[in-house]
Amino acid sequence: MGKRTPKALALGNALRQARLEKGFTLRDFAGQIQRDPGVLSRWETGDRIPRPEQVAQILTSLGVAGEQYDDVMTLVYGTDEPQWVATTLPEQRQQLAAYIEFEQSAQKITEITPLMIPGLLQTTDHVRAIMTAGGVPPVDIPTRIAVRAGRREVITRPNPARLLALVGQAALYQNIGGHSGMLAQLHHLVEVNRLPNVDVRIVPFGVGWHPGLEGAFNLIESDNAPAVVFLDTRRSTLWLHKEVDVNAYKQAAEMVARVALDAEESMRLITDLIQRMENRDVLPGHPDNLA
């Protein structure tokens, strides 16, 4: 198992992107800076951490300066700290790049979402409605939707990741995208659950306390890197990669799974809700209309 941390992966990704933007192959650039191509490759994959002066040499050789230079250099420090908190927009973009890298190499992804449909299972219209309501600049929405669509391939590609989605029942009743939008989203949950690698399970109202009520989190597990936990809040994002922290969230996911309906019961609940919404017996945003 590798020892890549989220921040090390983000640093490597930033170095690789800077090289590619200048049109260099790995071998050609390694020759230019007089480094072994294998070492440079491991820096770019996050498997080894270059020293600050080595990162500075790479960036200077590539003509990287200004804010981009500063943003990359901030990644050099604290790559093995137990937590990586991102509060600025550049840091959050770096975290997103690292998250996508981890997600694409995952063997198993567990999403705990007490109030929202999991990101990998959201329809394009659902994503657009969330971004619009959340104040994302209209000019940025198409790009963000395209990124989200690309991320979905992790569960539909050949040799896909296994996805366990533990979804709070409240998420099914949110009024996001209106009546037709929520109906389409619920139909999509039923469809995607037919994939052999996807397991959508609903945590029903009335089961009492469980760790999912403390907030959403994603657990990503793979064969070539340690498991990591990702938490996303309104103003910051947080990575955890130390074993003691990851194990705590694994236990939390197991506790949520124990109170969730099984997949068959979950699909019955969703299809029943679809029928009642189509009959207008239940409206989005009104779970009090439960029969």
Alpha carbons 77 and 56: distance in angstroms, whole number: 13
Amino acid at 180: S
Which CATH class for the 82-289 domain? alpha beta
* Mean pLDDT (whole number) for 190-201: 97
Strand positions, DSSP E, 87-206: 108-113, 162-168, 198-203
Question: Can you read off the two tokens belonging to residue 141?
Answer: 């929405």
pLDDT at 3 over 70: no
pLDDT band at 59 (very low <50, low <70, confident <90, very high): very high
> Which amino acid would we find at residue 240?
L
Residue 142 contacts residue 108 (beta carbons within 8 Å) = no
Give the residue from 144, 141, 106 showing the smallest Cα distance to 228.
106
- Ranges of each domain in the chain: 1-81, 82-289
- Confidence category of residue 244, pLDDT binned at 50, 70, 90: very high
**Structure pTM?**
0.80
Q: With residue 138 as reference, give the H or E element that holds it.
A: none
Beta bridge partners of 112: 166, 217
Q: Given this model, what pLDDT does residue 287 score?
A: 61
What is the token pair recorded at 174?
Answer: 């949110």
The amino acid occupying position 12 is: G
What are the distances in angstroms from CA 256 to CA 38, 105, 125, 216, 234? 43, 25, 28, 11, 23
The reply to whether domains 1-81 and 82-289 share a CATH topology is no
Taking the CB of residue 96, how many other CB atoms lie within 10 A of it?
18
Longest dimension (CA), the chain: 71
In angstroms, the CA 238 to CA 193 distance is: 29
Residue with tokens 């990741």: 161
Task: Report d(CA 9, CA 95) in Å as an integer.
Answer: 9
Rounded to an integer, the average pLDDT of 42-68 is: 91
Name the band, by pLDDT with cuts 50, 70 and 90, for residue 1: very low
Specify the higher pLDDT residue, 8 or 236: 8
HSE (side-chain half, CA atoms, 13 Å) at 99: 26
Q: How far apart are the first and last CA of the chain?
A: 50
Count Cβ atoms below 10 Å from residue 160 Cβ, excluding itself: 16
Q: What CATH fold (topology level) applies to the domain 1-81?
A: 434 Repressor (Amino-terminal Domain) (1.10.260)
Read off the pLDDT band of 241 (50, 70, 90).
confident
